[in-house]
């Protein structure tokens, strides 16, 4: 299978290849080198207000590129980085860079909330909170402009311990979102238990919203429930006006997806998407 990537890059690699031991070992070795060489970038995808259409935030998405060409996609290298522990230094780089960029936009008078993805081994590392605080301080960014996207699985796995850490993060002023909601194991009662500000409805629900009545019903119920609990609801993977209309009517507050823009360089994001 030849998988097309953004721009004019292409590669002969499928996700299943990263499951092969030899391929994993190669990715691990290349990851170490790429960390030393600084071959990583963050691209930013807009999150828009469902009603006004204004850009209120951005999700930072990690890109591994050499000479402008993608080496591996996140779904290929992040699992390897998690298994090898390399996600700890890589995740720290992401955090520092996302905070730095949020601080820069803030100083330009364009205060948008920058969200970043956090992996379980990174979150569970004893230095996580210290790295977050140092990143905020060094970037001189108001913590209210930073959001962490966690997954159901990592939140659930450590129970009370995760909850304590999440509360300490909230105490700093950083907000928390639950990513890919609906795909994991999060029971509804956990939403009350954990100090989560926002839920991101997984794009598999959004995808079929206009064609599959069951998915539409599930999505509507998630939105209603989340709103009832006072959470912000973000829909991921919005690609059509039909999907956006449905989500807006159902009460979703923020929309994210190719309809509003895909992930792009900070330079392009700043130029094209933010009011001057």
Binding site for ligand C2E (CB under 6 A): 45, 61-62, 73-75, 78, 91, 94, 116-119, 149, 179-180, 203, 236-239, 257-258, 263
User: Which of these segments, 14-22, 81-89, 149-157, 190-198, binds Mg ion (CB under 5 A)?
Assistant: 149-157
76 binds, among ligand C2E, Mg ion, none (CB under 5 to 8 A by kind): none
149 binds Mg ion (CB under 5 A): yes
Shortest distance, position 178 Cβ to ligand C2E, whole Å: 11
Collect all residues with Cβ–Cβ distance below 8 Å to 112 and sequence separation of at least 6.
55, 56, 57, 58, 102, 105, 145, 274
CB neighbourhood size of 153 (10 A): 13
The whole-angstrom separation of Cα 74 and Cα 71 is 10
Query: 141 by DSSP, 3-state: which?
Result: coil
DSSP 60-82: EEEEEEETTEEEE-HHHHHHHHH
Give the CA distances from residue 207 to residues 210, 238, 268, 272, in Å, rounded to whole numbers and listed in that order: 8, 7, 27, 26
Residue number, 97 or 149, with CB nearest to Mg ion: 149
Shortest distance, position 46 Cβ to ligand C2E, whole Å: 10
Question: 80 near 74, Cβ under 8 Å?
Answer: no
Residue number, 16 or 108, with CB nearest to Mg ion: 16
Name residues contacting Mg ion, limited to 212-241 (CB under 5 A). Answer: 236
**Among 45, 101, 117, 243, contact with Mg ion (rule: CB under 5 A):** 117
- The residue ranges that bind Mg ion (CB under 5 A) are 117, 149, 179-180, 236
């Amino acid at each position: 299978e030849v998988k097309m990537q953004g721009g004019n890059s292409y590669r002969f690699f499928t996700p299943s290849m990263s499951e092969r031991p030899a391929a994993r070992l190669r990715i691990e070795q290349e990851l170490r080198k790429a960390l030393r060489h600084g071959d990583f970038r963050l691209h930013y995808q807009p999150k828009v207000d469902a009603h006004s259409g204004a850009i209120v935030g951005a999700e930072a998405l990690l890109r591994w590129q050499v000479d402008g060409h993608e080496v591996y996609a996140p779904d290929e290298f992040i699992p390897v980085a998690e298994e090898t522990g390399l996600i700890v230094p890589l995740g720290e780089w992401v955090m520092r860079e996302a905070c730095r960029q949020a601080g820069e936009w803030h100083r330009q008078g364009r205060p948008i909330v920058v969200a970043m993805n956090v992996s379980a081994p990174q979150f569970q590392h004893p230095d996580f909170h210290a790295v977050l605080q140092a990143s905020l301080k060094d970037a001189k960014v108001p913590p209210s402009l930073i959001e962490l996207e966690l997954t159901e699985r990592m939140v659930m796995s450590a129970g009370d311990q995760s909850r304590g850490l999440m509360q300490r993060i909230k105490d700093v002023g950083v907000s928390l979102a639950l990513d890919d909601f609906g795909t994991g194991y999060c029971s509804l009662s956990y939403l009350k238990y954990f100090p989560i500000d926002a839920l991101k409805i997984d794009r598999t629900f959004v995808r079929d919203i206009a064609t599959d009545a069951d998915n539409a019903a599930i999505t509507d119920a998630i939105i209603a429930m989340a709103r009832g609990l006072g959470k912000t609801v973000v829909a991921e993977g919005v690609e059509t006006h039909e999907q956006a209309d449905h989500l807006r009517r159902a009460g979703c507050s923020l929309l994210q997806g190719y309809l509003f823009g895909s992930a792009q360089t900070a330079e392009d994001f700043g130029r094209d998407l933010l009011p001057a």
